[in-house]
Amino acid sequence: MKTNQRMEKAIHGLFLLLGLITVGCVLLITVYLIISGIPAIRQIGLKDFLFGKVWASTAETPAYGILPFILTSIYGTAGAIVLGVPIGFLTAVYLSKLASPKVKAVMQAAVSLLAGIPSVVYGLVGMLVLVPGIRKIFRVPDGASLFAAIIVLAVMILPSIIKMSVTALDAVPKEYEDASLALGATPIETYFKVSVPAAKSGIAASVVLGVGRAIGEAMAVMMVAGNVPNMPDSIFQSVRFLTTAVSSEMAYSSGLQRQALFSIALVLFLFIMLINVTLNFFLKKEKD
């Protein structure tokens, strides 16, 4: 008996230690980004940094305005969510409630394979297939654009949304659906008016995960978006995201330019945290 209690205490202590390590890593990253990013914002000016429309970090008279990057990241993420969430959600409902066991097994294996494909492969396929296709179909000078990035990001967030939504829908008690069917509701009405609301927390979590994947992606969008610091006035314009701004210049940056790149990382980090906190707040409010 004492041995079992000691084992439970040891396991409890191990889990506590792992949890503290996780929290400590998040705090360490937060503190490091704040310490590294604040000096550039002070020197450049918060208004000029966040709302400046020109980024010319290597010019004779450098400019460090990141508004084009912020708007591009917002538009790109929003576009990916608009395209990816309905497709992923409806696919999850089909797999969980309508598909036969064989079809479900095959499609889930395909989704898992899609999740395991490296970002650079998505970017390579987009650069070789999607970008020329956009140029030919829409007759634009360059297919590397915000539109291409939106399509690639929409495909990349599908596995996260589908897998988590299927898990949430499968966890809904079958008694809920049986009761709905017994009251005269059709299967489709039952799935969308009973099962989906019951699994909304898991579905919302999948959307959050998809948003995080879309905002944080760098390599794939760098290869298909053109990586040019333009204002996103058109979806067919070459643009640069917050993530690609950091990854494309960090290798040769120095001085104020390097500090400004850390400031961009800080803005991106705070942006992701704001989205997570906001969604969690509304989810908890609905539960209460």
List pLDDT tens digits, range 264-281. Answer: 999 988 888 887 787 777
CB 160 within 8 A of CB 115: yes
What structural domains does the chain harbor? 51-287 (1.10.3720.10)
CA geometry: angle 28, 31, 65, nearest 5 deg: 130
- The percent of residues above 90 in pLDDT, for the chain, comes to 55
**58 with 70: CB under 8 angstroms?**
no
- Say how far apart CA 139 and CA 132 lie, in whole Å: 10
Give the Cα separation of 250 and 264 in Å (integer): 11
Q: Mean pLDDT over all residues of the chain?
A: 89
Q: What percent of the chain is predicted at pLDDT more than 70?
A: 97
What is the pTM (predicted TM-score) of this model?
0.89
Residue 254: per-residue pLDDT: 84
The residue whose two tokens read 């707040």 is 281
Distances (CA, A) of 84 to 95, 146, 151, 155: 16, 15, 9, 7
pLDDT higher than 90, residue 144: yes
For residues 82-91, give the mean pLDDT.
93
